[in-house]
Amino acid sequence: MLQLSNVSKLFNPGTADEKIALIDINLNLNPGDFITVIGSNGAGKSTLMNIISGVMSPDTGEVKIEGNAIHQLPEYKRSRWIGRVFQDPMAGTAPRMTIEENLAMAYARGKQRGLGFGVTSSKRSFFHEQLQRLGIGLESRLRAKVGLLSGGERQALSLLMATFTRPQILLLDEHTAALDPARAELITQLTEDIVREMKLTTLMVTHNMEQAIRLGNRLIMMDKGRIILDVNEQRKKDLTIEQLLGEFEKISGNKLSDDRVVLG
């Protein structure tokens, strides 16, 4: 479904600020895979997400979706196939627009020009139905400005907007990290339900070790621009946080240095 071959990225090459972000990354996601991504500070997790979504291009290597190379395409063209939810609840939605206007914008994403962002009555009933699935009452607030929503509500809306056109790939970039524990758990639950129901192929960066083990069918660990551990579903089932941190130390020779790590 998603294939990265020999992807490398270096920032500020040849200067004193040179930073290796990704080195020769090879990663293959099968349809329906839900992969959690953990790693140390500066390991390259965000760069990986940025290269897949088109925020930046790799220096070398290829990114393919269903066999088609996409790494030369701009971000807006990839948005037809890729949904993304960011850590910052403000990032995925337009605060001055209403809930239904935001949804109409997401609905038009990647579709042919001319369809417009307008909210027709048939779209409105579709949005109502979709919002109802979230189970947090947003369906009765279709005309409320998004800027008035709480962080958790906004993140739930971002998740819906990123997924309701059924993207080939869903990228979740620490999307629960800015929320309090109760809201984070709600968004995690919604994520699991949506990914399972829609059978979405998903890559999720998290600093929460317990979440990384519990969610999905595969876990990858990154350090200094490389994937240093790839854990399959079978092994992941019995994995503990202590074992995961132990593996990191054994392979990298260092303790996991992640200033935002959440153990459980």
Ligand X SMILES: Nc1ncnc2c1ncn2[C@@H]1O[C@H](COP(=O)(O)OP(=O)(O)OP(=O)(O)O)[C@@H](O)[C@H]1O
Contact residues for ligand X, defined by CB under 6 A? 11-12, 19, 21, 39, 41-47
For ligand X, which is the closer residue by CB, 153 or 223?
223
Q: Between 119 and 261, name the residue whose CB sits nearer to ligand X.
A: 261
Contacts of 146 (CB under 8 A, 6+ apart): 93, 94, 95, 96, 97, 98, 99, 102, 154, 157
Q: What is the phi/psi pair of residue 255, to 5°?
A: -75, 150
Q: Which is nearer to ligand X, 21 or 204 (CB)?
A: 21
- For the record, the structure tokens of 228 come out as 């240093």
**Nearest-approach distance from CB 135 to ligand X, in angstroms:** 31
Strands (E), the chain: 2-11, 19-29, 34-39, 60-65, 68-69, 82-85, 169-173, 201-205, 218-223, 226-231
Shortest distance, CB of residue 44 to ligand X, whole angstroms? 4
What's the closest the beta carbon of residue 203 comes to ligand X, in angstroms?
13
Nearest approach, Cβ of residue 255 and ligand X (Å): 15
Assigned token pair, 145: 């400005």
Q: How far is the CB of 69 from ligand X (least distance, A)?
A: 22
DSSP for 69-111?
E-TTS-HHHHTTTEEEE-SSTTTSS-TTSBHHHHHHHHHHTTS
CB nearer to ligand X: give 131 or 256. 256
User: Residue 184 or residue 190: which is nearer to ligand X going by CB?
Assistant: 184
Q: At what angle do helices 151-163 and 181-198 cross, to 10 degrees?
A: 10
- The CA-CA-CA angle for residues 82, 87, 88, to 5°, reads 110
Nearer residue to ligand X within complex by CB, 111 or 260: 260
Q: Closest CB to ligand X among 44 and 216?
A: 44
**Min. distance of Cβ 43 from ligand X in angstroms?**
4
CB of 262 to ligand X, least distance (A): 13
Cα four-point dihedral sign 63, 66, 72, 76: negative
> Which of 30, 66, 28, 74 lies closest to 50 in space, CA to CA?
74
